[in-house]
C-alpha cells in the first residue's frame, strides 16, 4: 500500500508570514502556520496546500533573472488569457515587482502570454496565460 503524500514548494523568507499572506491574496487562498512548526506557513486553497514559506533570517533573494545565472525554481501561476492584465494589476497592487524582458534577456513580444515578477522577498514568479480558465482553488 502506498502512503498518501503531498508535495509542496517551500520558499525561504526572512518574513515568512507576510510573504505567505502575499501569495494567499494573489491566489485567493488562506494562510496559517504548519502544525507544530512556527517557522513554516502554508498557503492553502480548495485543492489543498499550494505553497509553503519557511523562516530563514539570513535569506538572500535569488539573482534570477540575470542572464549569467540559472533560472532557479520559480512559481508559475496560470491565468485565463483574457485576465492576464487584471492579474498583473493585482500582483503589483499586492507588492510584486515587474521584471522587464530586458532584465532577463528575453524578447518583449511574449508579454501577451507571460509576465515576469519578483515577490516582496525577491523570488521570481510568472503569470502565464492559458487558453481555458485555470482550475479554481
Per-residue confidence in pLDDT tens, the chain, 137 aa: 776 667 788 999 999 999 999 999 999 999 999 887 779 999 998 777 789 999 999 988 876 666 565 556 778 898 888 899 999 999 999 999 998 755 444 444 456 788 999 999 998 899 988 876 555 55
> Within this chain, do residues 123 and 94 fall inside the same structural domain, yes or no?
yes
Residue 13, SS3? strand
pTM (predicted TM-score): 0.75
Domain coverage including residue 44 = 10-55
> Within this chain, do residues 49 and 80 fall inside the same structural domain, yes or no?
no
> Within this chain, do residues 92 and 121 fall inside the same structural domain, yes or no?
yes
What CA–CA distances, in Å, run from 92 to 3, 50, 56, 59, 87?
Answer: 40, 20, 24, 22, 9
Asked whether residue 17 is assigned to any structural domain, the reply reads yes
Residue 86: DSSP 8-state: H
Q: What is the total count of domains within the chain? A: 2
> Within this chain, do residues 86 and 44 fall inside the same structural domain, yes or no?
no
CATH code assigned at 25: 3.30.720
Asked whether residue 1 is assigned to any structural domain, the reply reads no
> Within this chain, do residues 88 and 122 fall inside the same structural domain, yes or no?
yes
Amino acid at each position: 500500500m502506498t502512503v498518501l503524500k503531498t508535495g509542496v514548494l517551500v520558499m525561504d523568507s526572512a518574513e515568512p508570514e507576510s510573504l505567505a499572506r502575499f501569495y494567499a491574496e494573489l491566489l485567493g487562498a488562506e494562510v496559517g502556520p504548519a502544525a507544530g512548526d512556527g517557522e513554516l506557513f502554508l498557503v492553502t486553497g480548495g485543492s489543498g496546500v499550494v505553497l509553503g514559506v519557511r523562516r530563514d533570517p539570513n535569506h538572500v533573494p535569488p539573482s534570477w533573472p540575470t542572464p549569467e545565472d540559472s533560472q532557479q525554481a520559480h512559481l508559475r501561476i496560470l491565468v485565463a488569457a483574457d485576465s492576464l492584465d487584471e492579474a498583473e494589476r493585482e500582483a503589483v497592487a499586492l507588492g510584486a515587482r515587474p521584471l522587464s524582458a530586458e532584465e532577463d534577456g528575453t524578447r518583449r513580444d511574449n508579454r501577451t502570454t507571460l509576465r515576469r515578477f519578483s515577490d516582496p522577498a525577491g523570488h521570481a514568479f510568472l503569470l502565464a496565460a492559458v487558453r481555458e480558465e485555470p482550475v479554481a482553488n
